[in-house]
Amino acid sequence: MKQSQKILIGVGAGVVVLAVAAAIAGPVIYRDLIAGPAADAPSLASEPSSPGSPDQAAESDAGAAELDPRFLVGGWSVTDGSEAGYRVDEVLNGTDVTVTGRSDEVTGTFTIDDTGLTLTAAELTVDVASIETDSANRDAYFRDEALRTDEFPEAAFVLAEPVTLERAPASGDVVQTEATGELTIAGQTRTVTAEIEVRSDGTTAEIAGSIPITFSDFGVEAPDLGFVSVEDSGAVEFQLTAAKS
């Protein structure tokens, strides 16, 4: 065999090996080096306490004063610095990629009754057309095809049942609880349960939470393009700040 033929065969074999390696490693490279990292799951910094448990005050940081419930009574409104969005897993050529989309276009109100211990009303609204991930193409699909934001520009959560704590937490303590409400996405409304963390000093409040959802329950079809598919289940997530109205 001539030397030139050996060289050509060697180069051809090298190209095949590189092509196979790219097909296998490409999704991993995309996940680890190209795609933006998934946002952290919403959480407050402190270790959560039990939901309104009698031992809550004893578990609070030493010296922390119990919050006077009267400071919590009345209306609260979502303020700047809040965000909401979604978390979903994609499978790209067999490689799992977690995607998070976020928007700071969030509004909402909360109402606490005269005891200062019961949330009686809550409503959150998100401008879903403004939710962004690391990919403009993905955003366009979710905006135009999946969520149909030209027809349904907003998603909303409305509290369906009061949420009551057994006693007031310490000022700045983190309380973990659940809230049942009506979630509306793409014009479809379903009853959901949100896992929530709350912290307040009586003047401002922080709320972090997530709602597990199945997209098809809301008429949202997860795309499957062969080389990339999106899981049908995911989560709606939110991290909010609020102040007395």
pLDDT at 65 > cutoff 60: yes
Pairwise CA distance, residues 36 & 49, whole Å: 32
Read off the pLDDT of each residue in 67-75 and give the average, rounded to a whole number: 91
Q: pLDDT tens across 157-188, in order?
A: 999 999 999 888 888 899 999 999 999 999 99
Residue 69 contacts residue 237 (beta carbons within 8 Å): no
Q: What is the pLDDT of residue 74?
A: 96
pTM of the entire structure? 0.78
DSSP, residue by residue, 132-175: B-S-HHHHHHIIIIIS-TTT--EEEEEE-S-EE-SSPPBTT-EE
pLDDT over 90 percentage in the chain = 53
Residue 223 contacts residue 26 (beta carbons within 8 Å): no
Q: What is the pLDDT of residue 86?
A: 95
pLDDT at 61 > cutoff 60: no
Beta-carbon neighbour count of residue 224 at 10 Å? 11
Helix (H) or strand (E) holding 208: strand 204-214
Q: pLDDT tens across 16-29, in order?
A: 332 333 344 444 44
Read off the pLDDT of each residue in 64-77 and give the average, rounded to a whole number: 88
Q: What is the pLDDT of residue 91?
A: 80
Residue 165 contacts residue 52 (beta carbons within 8 Å): yes
Q: Two tokens at 60?
A: 């609070």
Beta-carbon neighbour count of residue 151 at 10 Å? 8
